[in-house]
Amino acid sequence: MTEADFLTATRTFYDAIAEDYADLFRTELAKPLDRAVFAGFAELVGAGGRVADLGCGPGRVTAHLASLGLSVFGLDLSESMLTIARRENPELRFERGSMLDLDLPDGSLAGAVSWYSSIHTPVDELPSLFTEFRRVLAPGGHLLIAFQIGDRPRRHDRPFGHEVVLDFQRRQPDQISELLQTAGLAPVMRMVREPAWNETTQQASLIARKPA
């Protein structure tokens, strides 16, 4: 699958399911350990720090980061997801774009978040993705990334009755940590938690830092 193919497949999938997805995950941020990770990330970035929520979906994480005192905007491939994000958070900025080609100057962000948004990127594209994250971070800036743990993808075929299909990649924390370090991002924090609510596998969140 070429880069254009996987981006198109991801955008088509989320355009189709956006409203159903937003309803299903409306209370997703009620998980206390995830909120603790966001709080720690926000403190590392510092009050007022400029942050991009990359792959923001319906904007719930973007809004939560804003409530923690960060100057945050959201970016997503799916216009349908962005419609929901703008509707529910009219005070925040949301833009359409690709994480692999960010329209941002070098070193312009104090922080970046990829909350379960790298899971549709093929493994051979991850080095380019993480290099792009490093590029837009200022020296000393922090990246927060989260993903499901596993060795095989989970295929979602016709979710909510929509005629779309997409693979959700599962990764290993050691694999992602090594790729981040190769991209020039130093490890700061790693959390692995057990499945909660509707989850079926362990979940990982990592914080890495661009050296000053």
* CATH, residue 26: 3.40.50.150
pLDDT, residue 142, reads: 98
Kindly state the DSSP code that residue 160 receives in the 8-state scheme.
G
Per-residue model confidence as pLDDT tens digits over 52-65: 999 999 999 999 99
How sure is the predictor about 1, in pLDDT bands with cuts at 50, 70 and 90?
very low
Residue 112 in this model has a pLDDT that exceeds 90: yes
What pLDDT sits at residue 27? 86
Q: What are the distances in angstroms from CA 198 to CA 25, 28, 106, 194? A: 10, 10, 39, 11
* E strand intervals along the chain: 50-54, 71-76, 93-96, 109-115, 137-148, 154-157, 165-168, 186-193, 203-209
β-strand 154-157 against 165-168: which pairing, if any? antiparallel
Q: pLDDT, tens digit, for every residue of 121-147?
A: 999 999 999 999 999 999 999 999 999
- Provide the domain count of the chain: 1
Each residue's pLDDT tens digit, 4-43: 789 999 999 999 999 999 998 888 888 999 999 999 999 9
pLDDT of residue 2 exceeding 80, the answer is no
0.85 exceeded by pTM: yes
Enclosing domain of residue 95: 3-209
Residues 48-100: tens digit of each pLDDT: 999 999 999 999 999 999 999 999 999 999 999 999 999 999 999 999 999 99
